[in-house]
Chains A and B, each alone.
Chain A
Amino acid sequence: MNNVLFFAHLKDEVGAESLQIEAKGKTVLALKQEVHETYGLSSFNSVMTAINEEFAEDDDVIQEGDTIAFIPPVSGG
């Protein structure tokens, strides 16, 4: 299983900070599409993804136990 984290507006839309999702073997893009469709998220275009706290590419493959985070455009500072 994989812990999938949501932040900012994504957290509000999903209604949870994190979900347990079986994502092993999927690409980041495939998981993004799955989550997008399941939760009817508004904008996912500019959302970045992190695997185990490091930015990942859309074609990176998720391993068992990886923590995935969907990261909307940041606005710190």
Chain B
Amino acid sequence: MKFGISKEPINIQEVIDHVVQRNAGAITTFIGTVRELTKGKKTLFLIYEAYESMAVKKLEQIGTEIRERWQGAEVAIVHRVGKLDITDVAVVIAVSTPHRADAYEANRYAIERIKEIVPIWKKEHWEDGQEWIGDQLEKVSYPEGKPEAKHLDE
């Protein structure tokens, strides 16, 4: 799947293979992994949950946005759901473009957009409790799915 939600471990090479194209001079791959320490607090494991049908649509939307902004770009994004342990891969984003600068920029754009508009949530489990995490960007809502490039620098 080029844009998808996966209950199984993500096959990283498969995501990359979706963006291989003859006009590409670069492919960037972002691999988001489960971190053990956040502000000194130790995570035991995470549960990711998605509104799957909408999440897939929003991942596709991000792909469309990228193809509009960066000419010749190809994008593939797969996000994992379920229980993830420390170091597990939560998300893989592959972007190919004719030139390397665009591949880096567009890939960065994709992860920031995921954190804004894709209905996926993580529940942190610590030694002393658990909590659904929200609003990691310390922002409110984006009814139009709008905030754009300026947020990339925040």
Whether A53 contacts B134 in the complex (CB less than 8 A), given A7-B121, A75-B122, A76-B91, comes out as: no
Taken together as a complex, chains A and B put the C-alpha atoms of A76 and B56 apart, in Å, by: 13
Taken together as a complex, chains A and B put the C-alpha atoms of A47 and B32 apart, in Å, by: 25
Q: Which residue of B lies closest to A52 (CB)?
A: B54
Q: Which residue of A lies closest to B47 (CB)?
A: A8
Summarize A's interface: helix, strand, loop or mixed. Answer: loop
Chain B interfacial positions (CB closer than 8 Å to A)? 32, 48-51, 53-55, 57, 79, 90-91, 111, 114-123, 131-136, 139-145
Query: A35: CB under 8 A from chain B?
Result: no
Taken together as a complex, chains A and B put the C-alpha atoms of A7 and B121 apart, in Å, by: 8
Q: What's the minimum C-beta distance from B137 to chain A, rounded to whole angstroms?
A: 8
Instruction: Check A8–B123 contact: CB distance below 8 A.
Output: yes
Whether A12 contacts B132 in the complex (CB less than 8 A), given A75-B121, A76-B120, comes out as: yes
Summarize B's interface: helix, strand, loop or mixed. Answer: mixed
Q: Which of A24-73 contact B (CB under 8 A)?
A: 45-48, 50, 53-58, 69, 71-73
Whether A46 contacts B51 in the complex (CB less than 8 A), given A55-B143, A74-B118, comes out as: no
Whether A77 contacts B54 in the complex (CB less than 8 A), given A46-B140, A48-B142, comes out as: no
Whether A74 contacts B54 in the complex (CB less than 8 A), given A46-B134, A55-B144, comes out as: no
**In the assembled complex, which residues on chain A have CB atoms less than 8 Å from the CB atom of B57?**
53-54
Instruction: Check B135–A55 contact: CB distance below 8 A.
Output: no
**In the assembled complex, which residues on chain B have CB atoms less than 8 Å from the CB atom of A5?**
51
Nearest first, the 10 closest Cβ-Cβ pairs linking A and B are: A76-B120, A73-B134, A73-B135, A8-B121, A53-B54, A9-B132, A75-B133, A8-B132, A48-B141, A77-B114
Taken together as a complex, chains A and B put the C-alpha atoms of A47 and B134 apart, in Å, by: 10
Q: Which residue of B lies closest to A58 (CB)?
A: B143
